[in-house]
Chains A and B, each alone.
Chain A
Amino acid sequence: MNTAPTRPALRGCLDALPLFIPALPFAFVFGVVVAEAGIPAWLGWSSSPIIYGGAIQVTLFTLIGEGASVAAAVSAALIVGARHMLYSVTLAPRFQNQPSWFRWIGSYVLIDQVFVLSQIKPVDEPVAFRRYFLAAGFTFWILWMTCTALGVALGPQIPAHWRLDFAAPVLFVSLMMAASNRPDKLGAAALATALTYLLAPLPNRSGMLIAVVITVVIMLLLPRKVNP
């Protein structure tokens, strides 16, 4: 893997493409959720550019379909997306020596895969970082807009028993391993796995965020043995 890209924009596109594969079946799941909630296809799809976050969009429409109030559906969807605040903190130092337009636009495309790419492919030079981040971010964006449009138009095209949805956890395991490039980081991943499982019964997946925060605190309190 090239960690010092000579053409950061191209690198960003190419790194993003394979990570989109698991989002493809998810886009069709989204189409089914919109149809089952009785929402017009165009209105459902409008959430792709307005919200831009697969799990947040699916949570919102699932709850609306179940007859939840706007306040309940919106707050549940936002709790599901609350991990993005951690991404915002984590990337804040990288956004410091950047122009403010990049803060506005970069925040908009900050999704799981873009965050983890920015962490596992560190590009130090500010201009290169910006190009890499925007290229990866908008590659996902264009694909998500296209695929959710297909999803709401076509509905379930991929048979559910193929279990293509399992590609999502498989990809995130792979990304987790790439992000755990030091023994202490691998330890953090293991700890977060256990804590998220223990806290899984908490409502709206809020246990996930709590598990991550506890993990980070425990890792800081542990004696430094392997840290550089």
Chain B
Amino acid sequence: MIAIAIILTGIGSYAMRAFFIFALARYTFPPVLLRALEYVAPSVMAALVISMMTTPEGELVAGAAECAGLICAALAARYSGNHILALIAGMAVFWGVTWFH
């Protein structure tokens, strides 16, 4: 049964990724749709962060340390454009505030 679940999920997740790439292979995108697609990346990244900071029931689990870490990571990314630096800054501030408390 578990093997069946894995295979079904595999087929489903592949189909979700491939569907529009194949379905729209010859489609001429109108400018308004191309403009809409530009907003997908920033929106999904923001949505992923909030999903990670909430329980499956929708409760926010971010305290002072989490908020400080995420804000510092955002600023480091904005001013350095370097993800490693943003990761180090975010984690350092998060750990710092956690231990300070």
Contact = CB atoms under 8 A, between A and B. Distances in A.
Interface in B50-92: 50-54, 56-60, 66, 69-70, 73-74, 76-78, 81-84, 86-87, 90-91
Nearest to A108: B14
A148 interface: no
Interface of A: 1, 18-19, 21-22, 39, 43, 46-47, 50-53, 56-57, 60, 64, 70, 73-74, 77-78, 81-93, 95-96, 103-104, 106-108, 110, 112, 115-116, 119-120, 163, 166-180, 184-186, 188-193, 195-197, 200-202, 204-205, 207-209, 211-212, 215-217, 219-220, 227
B62 to A, nearest CB: 9
A175 B35 CA distance: 20
A95 B6 contact: no
A151 to B, nearest CB: 16
Interface in B1-43: 1-10, 12-14, 16-27, 29, 32, 34-43
Q: State the majority secondary structure of interface residues on B.
A: helix
Interface of B: 1-10, 12-14, 16-27, 29, 32, 34-54, 56-60, 66, 69-70, 73-74, 76-78, 81-84, 86-87, 90-91, 94-95, 98
Given A74-B8, A185-B42, A202-B58, A171 B47 contact: no
Max chain B C-beta neighbours (<10 A), residue from A39, A52, A119, A191: A119
Nearest to A17: B84
Nearest to A179: B41
A159 to B, nearest CB: 13
A56 B2 contact: no
A73 B3 CA distance: 12
A39 B63 CA distance: 34
Contacts of B25: 92, 95-96, 103
